Structure 1
Amino acid sequence: MSLRIRLARGGAKKRPFYRIVVAEATSPRDGRFVEKVGTYNPMLPKDHADRIVLKTERIQHWLSVGARPTDRLHKMLGQAGLMEPFKYNEQPKKSAPGKKRAEREAEAAAKAAEAAAKAAEAPAEG
């Protein structure tokens, strides 16, 4: 049984409200959960005290038992000081340039370096 700490959506249409719950990884998003450990209301301003409400003792207990938070909650728990900050990847691999483009850019950089070297030598000779 792998446990996840995740958001369960509630609220009306276009007015989201989330419960922070500990649930089995296979259970539905808004379905069965083991325990409610907090709330998140994205409609409130970021500096409002009730935007994120966490039961820190229970969250620390579930983390020690082996529950893994989702990426979004990992970021929130990192900001609250309950976990190490979440590290995002620098650049997704899908959007990285291909081999041919990298070769063309390397050739262009080499030509630019040659031109700069020639330009630096020309005034020194004259």
Structure 2
Amino acid sequence: MAVAIRLSRGGAKKRPYYRIVVADSRAARDGKYLEQIGTYNPMLPKDSGERVKLDEDRARHWLSVGATPSDRVHRFLDAAGILEREQRNNPKKGEPGEAAKERAEEKAAKVAEAEEAAKAAEEEAKTAAAAPAEEAPAEEAPAEDAAAADAPAEEAAADDAEAKAE
């Protein structure tokens, strides 16, 4: 019979409470178990001493008999100093997914375009400032001359309107 040290869930909905049990590995998660050797309450703060309670003597006994701990229970045993746990490394875990990579590429392309546009605008401003200023436009005719120039056009428009009326 393969024996495992694992968690058995209890508690209400969204209020978990676990027993650390020794059970047949083929048994249901919350089914029959051989012995309860501790408890785990994830609702308590991580620095609380009541979060994980473990009977270390019984845990050592079951490990010596050949029981295999689950990953979470292995962490508890490591924290208690009963069983050494080697660190795992999963470099792909932190890697973004395909869609996130595409979004990052699009964002980088937009930023590059904006930088190029800003550089082009700066260069245009520099060339405009470096070029000699063009001659000032010729002064406009005095307002009296402009009024006199408009008067014959108005008279011609009035004469055309009279001709059409006749």
The verdict on a shared fold, with TM-score over 0.5 as the criterion, is yes
Bigger helix fraction? 2
Q: For residue 92 of structure 1, report the CA deviation from its aligned partner.
A: 5.3
Using the alignment, how far apart are the partners of 1:2 and 1:87 within structure 2?
25
Match of 2:31 in 1: 31
Match of 1:5 in 2: 5
Using the alignment, how far apart are the partners of 1:89 and 1:32 within structure 2?
34
- Deviation per CA, 1:35-84: give whole Å up to 9, x if none: 00000000000111110000000000000000000011111111110100
Aligned length: 94
Q: TM-score, normalised by structure 1?
A: 0.70
Kept in 2: contact 1:74–1:86 (CA 8 A): no
Q: Which has the higher contact order (CA 8 A, sep 6+)?
A: 1
Match of 1:83 in 2: 83
Matching residue's letter, 2:87 = K
Unaligned segments of structure 1, at least 5 residues: 96-126
Using the alignment, how far apart are the partners of 1:15 and 1:45 within structure 2?
14
Listed as ranges, the matches of 1:41-56 within 5 Å are 41-56=41-56
Q: Secondary structure at the match of 1:62?
A: helix
Q: For residue 27 of structure 1, report the CA deviation from its aligned partner.
A: 0.0
Unaligned segments of structure 2, at least 5 residues: 96-166
**Overall identity of the aligned pairs, in %:** 55
Bigger strand fraction? 1
Q: Secondary structure at the match of 1:9?
A: strand
Q: TM-score, normalised by structure 2?
A: 0.54
